[in-house]
A and B are shown apart, each in its own frame.
Chain A
Amino acid sequence: MKKSIASLLLGTALAVTTAGAAFAQDKTVKIGALSDQSGLYADLGGPGSTLAAQMAVEDSGLTGKGWKIDIISGDHQNKPDIGTAIARQWFDVDKVDIIVDVPNSGVALAVNNVVKEKNGVYINSGAATSDLTNAQCSPNTVHWTYDTYMLAHTTGQALVKAGGDTWFFLTADYAFGAALERDTTAVITANGGKVVGGVKHPLNTPDFSSFLLQAQASKAKIIGLANAGGDTTNTIKQAAEFGIVKGGQKLAALLLFLTDVKAIGLETAQGLNFTETFYWDMNDKTRAFSKRFAEKMKNSAPPTMVQAGVYAGVRHYLKALEALGGNPHDGVKVVEKMKSMPTEDDLFGKGEIQPNGRTIHNAYLFEVKKPSESKGPWDFYKLVGTVPGEQAFTPLSESKCALLKK
């Protein structure tokens, strides 16, 4: 009994001293990786995003310098109410400093408000809506990797210029689909094209045949897919079945991820054009990172651009924190520091964060390889063109972000 009281006292004393030390230096950081862990976007973000955040922490070397950095993860199940509930709990109870990833634009925009309210840091990599750095921009938010404006101005523009001047949209019926259709329509009309019709389908639809028949009947040259993940793979697969491409219409997968191509298979996906800002097989640095990443993934998959964005975002965040010497709890201050430093990492190369929170880096137009051209299980893409960041993303002159009107 005496012994246990002594150890209890000792333990308490130890806890007080370590807590005191942490407070003095304020080098305790808690990262929350909020993603779709089990639904249709789980493979492009999900557990892989948590792993990417962990690798960013390890590679930063800060833990060796006495920093204490923890990562927790959560599943928003593609529901904005669940996403915001987790975010609130993380800030209020778990004392999280930063939320990363958050695919699904509906959830992303909802979480954006919570992070602003709690003065945290929000590095979004998974969501596409350009509203995050436009109408709904926030001093606490950095939007990494990609957005709907960029997708529209790369894939969309390239296709219109190649003669695809009439479009029919298959659009996922939530914030992301609406944003992507809106931004792409702007590009199409600006380039002299026309949108002849479209359907809005519910998120996570297993059968697209009805919608594809309508697209076929519209006689549009391009069928624009303003959807993502499992919805896109099902659409492409079923479009092949209905002979859409053989009938002379072209599919525009405005957003396609590495894991989607894997799921469709090269046989069906070959020849598709689309845009990404990261591909594992770009250069020695991306290959080296991807190899390390794949070794830790259960299915040995290399990172998607969303997961790569989580890594790059967390790396930059930790660099900014180190430059500040600690104190991660004032989100606006940390994000300002992040914006003042140029971004540079092995995955996206050199770039910058604009005042509206948009990260600028190169975007790449890819084409899916033929099965005969593929040399390995994840060798899927051919590089068709590179679009410099300034051309790919919203010019500040066009941005409606309130932060720019200071």
Chain B
Amino acid sequence: MQALYAQLLVGLINGSFYALLSLGLAVIFGMLNIINFAHGALYMMGAFVAYFLLNLGGINYWWALLLAPIIVGIFGMLLERTMLKFLTGLDHLYGLLLTFGIALIVQGVFQNYFGSSGLPYSIPDQLKGGLNLGFMFLPIYRAWVVVFSLFVCIATWFLIEKTRLGAYLRAATENPTLVRAFGINVPRMITLTYGLGVGLAALAGVLSAPINQVRPLMGADLIIVVFAVVVIGGMGSIMGSIITGFALGVIEGLTKYFYPEASNTVVFVLMVLVLLVKPTGLTGRAA
């Protein structure tokens, strides 16, 4: 029974990565109507930027948490300005193909220069060590990841659903012409939104750097699962992706305990089941 608690907690930790990544995807899909396949590559860039900041600039983890999302976010905004903006009004498929291509190029470039086995990034001194909870040894860093991710998820939800800026954003996606008529610069809002989504991916990358190797393919390995999370939660639904992200982490953790061989596929089995019953996803609305 104790082992089960431990697995639940570990699942929650992985779930926080899924939640952060799927949140960014949901924001981008909800506001820009783009299925952002480059999300995994941008997550990987976040981890690499943290690595460079530390090893080239001597800038520590805490600053990386702030700077890496900004740097990668700016890169994302450049992508949006130079490429993605031409996709407005086109079928989803174009966005998917373009971003998939971008992901392949970015990953290819990193792999060419840094190989595939990855670079070490250690846990910051303040978060080293662990707590003995009785039923498990909880590394402090993992606890931090859960708490911090939850905070970021809720803050993002609040920003989009409860603030005036969020209201503008939602209005701009519903009826861009009307919102423009009110004197709001819609293209700039779109660019900033993409930057925000990308920044969330990069933030997850920084959080993951001390746990996983900083590897060019770290995002490619994760992105398919994250897409499943978004589909299960309902495309574009902010709260749906947060809740599903955490829930799937837990389910995956439990599978690793009871039947480890299936841990890579359980998410997709769930996706199939959910789509059979509710094609719009758990919290999605019909289009």
Contacts and interface: CB of A to CB of B under 8 A. Distances in A.
A191 B215 CA distance: 39
A43 B221 contact: no
Interface residues of A, number: 45
Contacts of A210: 7, 10-11, 253, 256-257, 260, 263
A225 B136 CA distance: 21
A43 B117 contact: yes
A278 to B, nearest CB: 18
Interface stretch (B71-79, B107-115, B154-162): B107-115
Given A200-B261, A214-B257, A40 B211 contact: no
Given A214-B3, A243-B137, A202 B117 contact: no
B120 A265 contact: yes
B111 A38 contact: yes
Interface residues of B, number: 42
B115 to A, nearest CB: 4
Interface in A214-233: 214, 216-217, 229-230, 233
Nearest to B128: A241
Interface string B172-187: 0000000000000000
B213 A213 contact: no
B124 to A, nearest CB: 13
Given A217-B3, A299-B114, A39 B217 contact: yes
B39 interface: no
Contacts of B263: 201-202, 205, 210
Contacts of A243: 129-130, 137, 139
A205 B10 contact: no
A230 B7 contact: no
The 9 lowest CB-CB distance pairs between A and B, nearest first, are A265-B120, A210-B256, A42-B116, A43-B117, A263-B117, A202-B264, A43-B115, A263-B118, A209-B10
Interface of A: 38-44, 46, 173, 199-202, 204-207, 209-211, 213-214, 216-217, 229-230, 233-234, 237-238, 241-243, 247, 259-260, 262-265, 267-268, 298-299, 301
6 contacts: A201-B256, A209-B142, A216-B137, A237-B212, A263-B118, A299-B115
